[in-house]
Amino acid sequence: MFANVFTKATRDNLPAGLFGALALAFFLFFAMWVYRDVDTSFYFDLPAGILELVGINPEGEGTGAIAFGSIYNLMGAFTIAGLALSWGASSIAGEERDGTLGFLLGNPVSRRGVLVSKTVSMVLIVALMSLNLWGLGIASAAVLDVSTDGLFVGAITFAMFVNSLFYGFLALAIGAWVGRRSVASGATAGLMIVGYLAANLLPLADLEWLARLFPWYYFSSSAPINNGLDWAHVGILIGLSVALFIGAYVGVQRRDLREKGTDVTLLDRLRSHPSTEKLIERLAGSARVSRISTKTLSEHQGLFTVTSAIMFYMGVLIPPLYSLIPEDFVEIFASFPDALVAMIGGVDMGTPTGFLTGEVFALVGPIAIIVLCASIGARALAGEEESRTMGLLLSNPITRGHVVREKAVAMVGYAFGFGLVTFFGTWLGVWLGGLDDVGVGGIAAISVLLTLFGLVFGGVALAISAATGRRTWATMGTTGVAIVAWFIFSFFPLSETFESLTVLSPFDWYLGSDPLLNGMDWMGAALLGGAFLGLVAASLALFSKRDLRG
């Protein structure tokens, strides 16, 4: 039975892992190809501390140092760690959510046997991804005749492996103790993003001692691509991972397992309270699900809470942090070349608006709202089919088009709620930090554009969900589109050959006009809103014409 659980988990997750590794290798290859047309000498004129911050070897030179630093040290680390935490959260809590853990335990296998099988599968897949990235990275450099002298490619891939396992084991432990996948994945993702920012920003404010409290510090601070492995840091991450596995091993045995459908949502609690019962009944509709949007909102309230809380926290934290950064570092930020700052929308990192855009709205904001909207879009139709509940919905006097529209309304509601929380968090942070140069109009503009930006990728997930009926395909397809869009926005401006194609990326519609400084870009808003409406229309057509899965 160990072999069966292990084999099934590996078969289910290995395609996503290999796809992620191949996608990263492709972007590394493409980055090397693009950078060969760029005079990269300006990078190495920057101070050593800044180069190490972005993963570039201060003693190195040329395309290899820049490509490996930017792709593997940042995008690669987030991608593998994100997949690992997803698998860790699904190992026990995901089976409980889907109502399948009881079937597994009906066989001659213990709870801990299932946990061990899933864990071994996760470790194997993460190891295979890391090995693939090592081999494909070396091969890409050889094919393009790019030098890797002074670079420790094996060290960075092994460091990515150890770092990813920590976040996978953290999600595994939380899921084993609480039985809720959304809590396990949300809490782990929040720690990962906050840890990344803390590890890179706190040392700039002479707070390195505080940065040591975050696990990401033990991945990035030693710059393994530049200096090789720091075995003390590797040992800390491995030790934490072992401790988390022991915690999961104990926790999964000590609690009553949850059955599918036993969650009590916030709406359920409000409905049961006498003072709010009538209002909630009106909002939720009748038993014939006339308000599918309300049902959808209740299903994703945990994810909305986690993602919006991350943005509120970042909005409050970053502006005061800017005021703590020494003046010489601010001057260094201001001296970044145009080709470098194009990767974060062409903003001036030496100004409050530029720094806030780069640290909050260029990376954390897009990731958070894409996760929120894409999850809603992927589950909207394909999730109902996979859970065998679409037939129950359509047995009521409603059309397929009504289902699509209601799901889209729920997505819009949460996206604008996310934007509103982002606005108030950022406004509060700017007020606390005393950044008078950041205006309320700019905060409102970038918050609205971020909302519309997230809806575009939610629309992509909804369309793929409508076309295929498979949530995994919708999730992976949207992730691929988002990565390609980010890559176009980040790297095409660095090449004269591809620069004109940057306008094809939704990232350019969102950040290209520097809305935090210049206010609302109405053309960008129109492109984002129009793209979302077009994707919803496509979803209506695709869903109406397809035979639904039984």
- Say what percent of the chain tops pLDDT 70: 76
What value does the mean pLDDT take over residues 33-61? 58
Whether 280 maps to a domain, the answer reads no
Question: Based on the domain organization, do 174 and 297 belong to the same domain?
Answer: no
Burial class (CB in 10 A: 0-12, 13-18, 19+), 409: middle
Whether 279 maps to a domain, the answer reads no
Q: What is the pLDDT of residue 521?
A: 92
Whether 363 maps to a domain, the answer reads yes
Question: Based on the domain organization, do 239 and 319 belong to the same domain?
Answer: no
| 236-245, 310-319, 456-465: the lowest-pLDDT one | 310-319
Question: Based on the domain organization, do 439 and 531 belong to the same domain?
Answer: yes
Question: Based on the domain organization, do 251 and 313 belong to the same domain?
Answer: no
Q: What is the pLDDT of residue 261?
A: 46
The answer to whether the pTM exceeds 0.85 is no
Residues 6+ apart with CB under 8 A from 66: 31, 35, 40, 43, 56
Judge whether residue 460 has pLDDT over 90. yes
Q: What is the pLDDT of residue 139?
A: 92
Which long-range CB contacts under 8 A does 29-34 form with residues at least 24 apart? 29/136, 29/140, 29/143, 29/144, 30/487, 30/491, 31/66, 31/67, 31/70, 31/71, 31/491, 32/63, 32/64, 32/67, 32/140, 32/141, 32/144, 32/146, 33/144, 34/491, 34/492, 34/494, 34/495, 34/498
Question: Based on the domain organization, do 315 and 461 belong to the same domain?
Answer: yes
Whether 270 maps to a domain, the answer reads no
Report which listed range, 22-26, 152-156, 337-341, 394-398, is most confident: 152-156
Q: What is the pLDDT of residue 1?
A: 47
Query: pLDDT tens digits, residue range 481-507?
Result: 988 888 888 777 767 777 788 888 999
The two three-digit tokens of residue 145, written as one number: 């005749």
What value does the mean pLDDT take over residues 436-450? 91
Domain count, the chain: 2
| 27-36, 39-48, 435-444: the lowest-pLDDT one | 39-48
Question: Based on the domain organization, do 247 and 128 belong to the same domain?
Answer: yes
Judge whether residue 347 has pLDDT over 70. no
Whether 246 maps to a domain, the answer reads yes
Amino acid at 221: S
Site of tokens 């007020």: 431
What range does the domain containing 87 cover? 1-257
Judge whether residue 22 has pLDDT over 60. yes
Q: What is the pLDDT of residue 34?
A: 64
Using an 8 Å Cβ cutoff, are 452 and 366 in contact?
no
Q: Categorise residue 396: left if φ over 0, alpha if ψ from -120 to 50, beta otherwise.
A: beta
326-357 in b/e form (b: 16+ CB < 10 A) is eeebbebbeebeebbbbbbbbbbbbbbbbbbb
Give dist(CA 147, CA 138) in Å, integer.
10
Cβ of 189: how many Cβ atoms within 10 Å?
25
- Residue 107, CA distances (Å) to 13, 102, 161, 253, 319 in order: 22, 9, 33, 17, 55
Selection from 369, 341, 332 nearest residue 449 by Cα: 369
Give dist(CA 220, CA 196) in Å, integer.
8
Give dist(CA 196, CA 75) in Å, integer.
12
Question: Based on the domain organization, do 22 and 81 belong to the same domain?
Answer: yes
Selection from 89, 90, 214 nearest residue 163 by Cα: 214
What value does the mean pLDDT take over residues 403-418? 90
Question: Based on the domain organization, do 132 and 179 belong to the same domain?
Answer: yes
Question: Based on the domain organization, do 243 and 359 belong to the same domain?
Answer: no
Judge whether residue 534 has pLDDT over 90. yes
Judge whether residue 162 has pLDDT over 60. yes
Q: What is the pLDDT of residue 283?
A: 45
113 vs 170, residue with greater confidence:
170
**Band (475; pLDDT cuts 50, 70, 90):** confident
Last residue of a domain, one of 240, 257, 274: 257
Whether 281 maps to a domain, the answer reads no
Q: What is the pLDDT of residue 274?
A: 64
Sign of CA dihedral 140, 143, 146, 152: positive
Q: What is the pLDDT of residue 341?
A: 61
Judge whether residue 354 has pLDDT over 60. yes
Whether 275 maps to a domain, the answer reads no
User: What would the DSSP string read from start to end of 517-535?
Assistant: HH---HHHHHHHHHHHHHH
Whether 295 maps to a domain, the answer reads yes
Give dist(CA 469, CA 390) in Å, integer.
11
The two three-digit tokens of residue 501, written as one number: 């194609």
| 43-47, 117-121, 500-504, 544-548: the lowest-pLDDT one | 43-47
Question: Based on the domain organization, do 250 and 338 belong to the same domain?
Answer: no
Q: What is the pLDDT of residue 289?
A: 43
Give dist(CA 517, CA 432) in Å, integer.
19
Residues 6+ apart with CB under 8 A from 124: 10
Last residue of a domain, one of 257, 282, 299: 257
What value does the mean pLDDT take over residues 456-466? 93
Judge whether residue 209 has pLDDT over 80. yes
Q: What is the pLDDT of residue 143?
A: 87
180 vs 261, residue with greater confidence:
180
Question: Based on the domain organization, do 249 and 319 belong to the same domain?
Answer: no
- Residue 141's Cβ-side half-sphere holds a number of Cα atoms within 13 Å equal to 19
| 82-91, 148-157, 225-234, 329-338: the lowest-pLDDT one | 329-338
Judge whether residue 2 has pLDDT over 50. no
Q: What is the mean pLDDT of the chain?
A: 80
Last residue of a domain, one of 257, 279, 300: 257
Judge whether residue 126 has pLDDT over 60. yes
- Say what percent of the chain tops pLDDT 90: 25
What value does the mean pLDDT take over residues 409-424? 92
Question: Based on the domain organization, do 211 and 324 belong to the same domain?
Answer: no
- Residue 545's Cβ-side half-sphere holds a number of Cα atoms within 13 Å equal to 8
What value does the mean pLDDT take over residues 232-236? 96
Selection from 386, 533, 374 nearest residue 470 by Cα: 386
Give dist(CA 456, CA 308) in Å, integer.
18
